[in-house]
Amino acid sequence: MKYLIVIPDGAADTPQTSLGGKTPFQAAHTPALDALAARGRVGLTNHVPESLPPGSEVACMSLMGYDPLAFFTGRAPLEAAAQGITLGPDDWAVRCNLVTITDQAMADFTAGHVTTAEATELLAAAQRGLAADFPKLAANWSFVPGVSYRNLLLYRGTAAAAPFDDSLRATPPHDLMDKSVVDDFPRGTGSRLLTEIMSRSAAWLEGHPVNKARMAAGVRPATHVWLWGVGRAPALEPFTAKYGMSGTMITAVDLLRGLAALAGWKRLEVPSATGYLDTDYAAKGRAAIAEFTVADLVCVHVEAPDEASHEGDAAAKVKAIEEIDAKIVAPLVAHLATSGEHRILVCPDHPTFIATKTHSRGHVPFVMAGSGITRSGQATYDEVAAAASSQRIEPGWKLMGEFLKTKSKTVS
């Protein structure tokens, strides 16, 4: 049996006035997804427990079949795993965005999509600033460049000197877009330290040649580091031990790479996948088809619908969903139809609302179809059809087990 999972990140949404009262899934022309719905099982699930932050770090862990309430420790440790960084039991990882804060408001959580080369230089300046302003910290703390604005701050230490505990809460900068940052500094054990580093970073980065050059070029400077997503390494049981097979992850997003690494999955890089609206959908589809010659389970994650929502762009979200349908789902359905027993699952990780430009918890529609899966009677794949179906799989982490079950339960 071959298993395909497609994650259209953040694709679930509410009806939009600009789309004639339809959700993006409803408004998009998606013949491949609708055909899956017509012969498969459509319903609702929920990948974000009430007590955890709504985001891919929690929701994709759930989608991969791990209970986030048991395993989620923070976003940064997943991104560290993606970079091949191993965290010891007393180490902590902190997500470090380079951001643009103007007049105390989050003007840009990406600092104008600062380049990796620029970010590397800016973080070296931050490291020097940290050593000068916090000499006691310098030995244990290091800024680690990642990709563009997505970087890390690592703490290597001892349990006795742990700077944080699980009470720490810090707001993701993409949830603060165009909002004042003053009321959203971190809270809990270790929050004062994080707040001080963030505040001091303004002086470390101001006037840096990279920022001067960016401003001269008319693009946004990186005014601060923004620290969040704090956690220790999670202890995921290997996917093979839990579900009896391995998987391959195709994604352009580090935290998905990290989840895959921690679950023991293979990661397949598609050079032209960008994690943005301009990603090469067809290349991802081709890579997944090729991977099925060696893998039994392939997961294709596409960040574009989430990015469209962050930009509040309903038309771009519809376009992203249509591209996924035409260039990933359709060719894979056609390929798998010629290669024997197979199942296909499509499910967003969480809703990302165009109206609020941010992630939300709540129900997302799933569709699964293929060998042994009984149809539930929906004609389309969207939020409304899924809600009209009686199918509910909750909590969301149980969806994976249901999808991989040897014999799919007959729909009642």
Residue numbers at the binding site for Zn ion (CB under 5 A): 9-10, 56, 306, 349
- Residue 186: how many other CB atoms lie within 10 Å: 21
- Using the minimum distance from each CB to Zn ion, give the nearer residue, 222 or 261: 261
User: Is residue 27 within 8 Å of 317, Cβ to Cβ?
Assistant: no
DSSP 3-state of 147: strand
User: Is residue 341 within 8 Å of 1, Cβ to Cβ?
Assistant: yes
State how far the Cα of 39 lies from the Cα of 144, in Å rounded to an integer: 48
The type of residue at 296 is: D
User: Is residue 250 within 8 Å of 300, Cβ to Cβ?
Assistant: yes
- Using the minimum distance from each CB to Zn ion, give the nearer residue, 306 or 323: 306
The type of residue at 288 is: A
Which single residue is written with the structure tokens 């009209």? 388
User: Is residue 28 within 8 Å of 325, Cβ to Cβ?
Assistant: yes
**Nearest approach, Cβ of residue 256 and Zn ion (Å):** 9
**Nearest approach, Cβ of residue 72 and Zn ion (Å):** 14
- Using the minimum distance from each CB to Zn ion, give the nearer residue, 129 or 172: 172
- Using the minimum distance from each CB to Zn ion, give the nearer residue, 9 or 118: 9
What pairing do the DSSP bridges indicate for beta strands 2-8 and 342-346?
parallel
State how far the Cα of 144 lies from the Cα of 227, in Å rounded to an integer: 13
**Nearest approach, Cβ of residue 295 and Zn ion (Å):** 23
**Nearest approach, Cβ of residue 47 and Zn ion (Å):** 9
**Nearest approach, Cβ of residue 213 and Zn ion (Å):** 32
**Nearest approach, Cβ of residue 355 and Zn ion (Å):** 17
Closest CA to 29 of 389, 282, 320: 320
- Using the minimum distance from each CB to Zn ion, give the nearer residue, 9 or 322: 9
Q: What is the DSSP string of 337-369?
A: HTSSSEEEEE--SSBEETTTTEE--S-EEEEEE
**Nearest approach, Cβ of residue 59 and Zn ion (Å):** 6
- Using the minimum distance from each CB to Zn ion, give the nearer residue, 144 or 364: 364
Interhelix angle 56-63/254-263, rounded to 10 degrees, is 40
Tokens of 209: 């040649």
**Nearest approach, Cβ of residue 50 and Zn ion (Å):** 17
What pairing do the DSSP bridges indicate for beta strands 352-353 and 297-302?
unpaired
- Using the minimum distance from each CB to Zn ion, give the nearer residue, 67 or 206: 67
**Nearest approach, Cβ of residue 354 and Zn ion (Å):** 14
- Using the minimum distance from each CB to Zn ion, give the nearer residue, 79 or 349: 349
Cα–Cα distance list, 6 to 44, 60, 298, 352 (Å)? 16, 11, 9, 17
The type of residue at 123 is: L
For residue 203, which phi and psi values (nearest 5 degrees)? -70, -35
**Nearest approach, Cβ of residue 309 and Zn ion (Å):** 10
- Using the minimum distance from each CB to Zn ion, give the nearer residue, 9 or 79: 9
- Using the minimum distance from each CB to Zn ion, give the nearer residue, 56 or 151: 56
User: Is residue 138 within 8 Å of 117, Cβ to Cβ?
Assistant: no
For residue 125, which phi and psi values (nearest 5 degrees)? -65, -40
262-265: list long-range contacts, CB under 8 Å, 24+ apart.
262/78, 262/81, 262/233, 262/234, 262/236, 263/64, 263/66, 263/236, 263/238, 263/239, 264/238, 264/239, 264/240, 265/239, 265/299
Q: Which residue is nearest to Zn ion (CB)?
A: 56
